[in-house]
Amino acid sequence: MSDPSLWQEQHPGRAFPALDSDHRADVCVIGAGVTGASCAWRLLEHGVSVTVVDGRRAAAAASGRNGGFAVTGTGLDADELDGRLGEARARDLRAATERSLDAMIALAAELGVPQSVRRTGSLWVAQDEHERAEIEHALSAATASGIPCRPAADLIPEPMRDRCQTAAFFPRDAELLPATWVRTLAAAAADRGATLFEHSPVSGLEREGDGWLVHAGSGTVRAQAVVVACDGLIPRLLPQLDGVVYPVRGQVLATEPLQRGPLAYPTHSQSGFMYYRPTDDGRVVVGGGRLEQLEHEYTDAEAVTAGVQARLDAFLDDWLGIGGARVTHRWAGIMGFSADLLPVVGALPDSPGLYVAGGYSGVGNVLGHLCGGIAADLIVTGTHPQAAALDAGRFDLTSPVAQLEKQRSREPAQLEKQRSREHALRLSLAQP
């Protein structure tokens, strides 16, 4: 496992005991990340008893180890989502993510941590001609779909302006302090009646009568329904979903506080494969860098690697002009991607009472909150407006499925290799 993230060190949160006895609840949620905490919160609103178990700590995994971006929408571009779901259902899903982000901001304020989810807007900067065309197309598609956005060459970070002329700004996006947000929400759910067990890894699930028996830590939880909400680790517990949901490692670093940083907004480039943001204390957080290491990053091993970290270091120097800044934190987290880049939420076929929520495909901070609520509503009421579009039943679980992200990554990976070769050439020509 990699070292703690900056966010986890900044907010250790409340500790909860390990499960060491037999326990009962209406619902057992596996995973105390953003999905699990949000699901527990929604179940309590329904008046349902809930127990949450986690093998480590709340927000110990990807929910506390990401880059701290809170964006609406899904892992698909606006026109791709329209093509997949149809314009009406795509519009409804986007609107649901927007409402979810609004709810997160309001709830963070209610819980006394308004800084943990804060609307700042986000910036997308083109690093080459291919990405410039991508941004222009995305602006057109987003405008047609009613998504607020504008061209934003004026907002390009100063160190990038000599090589970048195209950018887009999305004013409704937000940034968050991941561990502060999730650990505060989990603790608030416990205060309202949820039971939370940490350091209680799940070793098995089995059907028992008309309910389920969860073996976790040194004890068990008997429940009528179970929600598996551990995103990239879902296939460990539900092997029938292996390939439908699969792990992807994300790596991040953070610098020391700087007197004058280069960034004003959460920003991304390289089609989302590089993302970077400022912090309130003057640090720069940079994540991604996996384009040249793709096959090595399809893993659930939570560890930083020299190759990806070198790419992040190089980005600090080559693009942000702060190569001399001391790096204080390096960490990794495991995301869950789905085969079609849409979340997988709902009851598993032929497994009454067994639910899954995950596969957020790199944009889970808002989708995790939304999908935790969807799972809770499905358990209690049997329905949710977005359930049909995201149900696991859309996949044929009897045969391997094509994984869209792996197919789509090939082109930007080749572009990144070309970009690296061109940069090396420029450096060699600059030598005396």
Tell me the pLDDT tens digit for each residue of 270-322: 989 999 999 999 999 999 999 888 889 999 999 999 999 999 999 999 999 99
Of the pLDDT bands very low, low, confident and very high (cuts 50, 70, 90), residue 425 is very low
| pLDDT above 70 (res 93) | yes
At 42 the pLDDT is 98
Cβ–Cβ < 8 Å for 366, 173: no
Q: Look at residue 426 and tell me whether its pLDDT is greater than 50.
A: no
What pLDDT score does 379 carry?
98
62-76, 98-112, 135-149, 266-280 — which is least confidently predicted? 135-149
Q: Is the pLDDT of residue 101 over 60?
A: yes
DSSP helix/strand/coil, 255: strand
pLDDT at 122: 98
Task: Mean pLDDT check: name the lowest of 122-136, 203-217, 283-297, 389-403.
Answer: 389-403
Compute the distance between CA of residue 279 and CA of residue 69 in angstroms, rounded to an integer: 12
Predicted pLDDT of residue 407: 65
Structure tokens of 61?
Answer: 């995994």
105, 177 in Cβ contact below 8 A? no
Q: Which of 62-66, 301-305, 402-406 has the lowest mean pLDDT?
A: 402-406
Dump pLDDT digits (tens) for 326-375: 999 999 999 999 999 999 999 999 899 999 999 999 999 999 999 999 99
Counting Cβ atoms within 10 Å, is residue 14 exposed (0-12), middle (13-18) or buried (19+)?
middle
Nearest C-alpha neighbor of 186 from the set 334, 40, 355: 40
Largest Cα span, the chain:
78
Residue found under tokens 């995201």: 390
pLDDT, mean of residues 149-163: 97
**pTM value > 0.85:** yes
Q: What is the DSSP string of 94-116?
A: HHHHHHHHHHHHHHHHHTT-GGG
Per-domain boundaries in the chain: 6-394
Q: Which class is 6-394 in CATH?
A: alpha beta
Residue 412 pLDDT class (50, 70, 90 cuts): low
Amino acid 427: pLDDT: 36
Question: Bridge partners of 247?
Answer: 336
The letter for the amino acid at 115 is: Q
* 329 or 417: which leads in pLDDT: 329
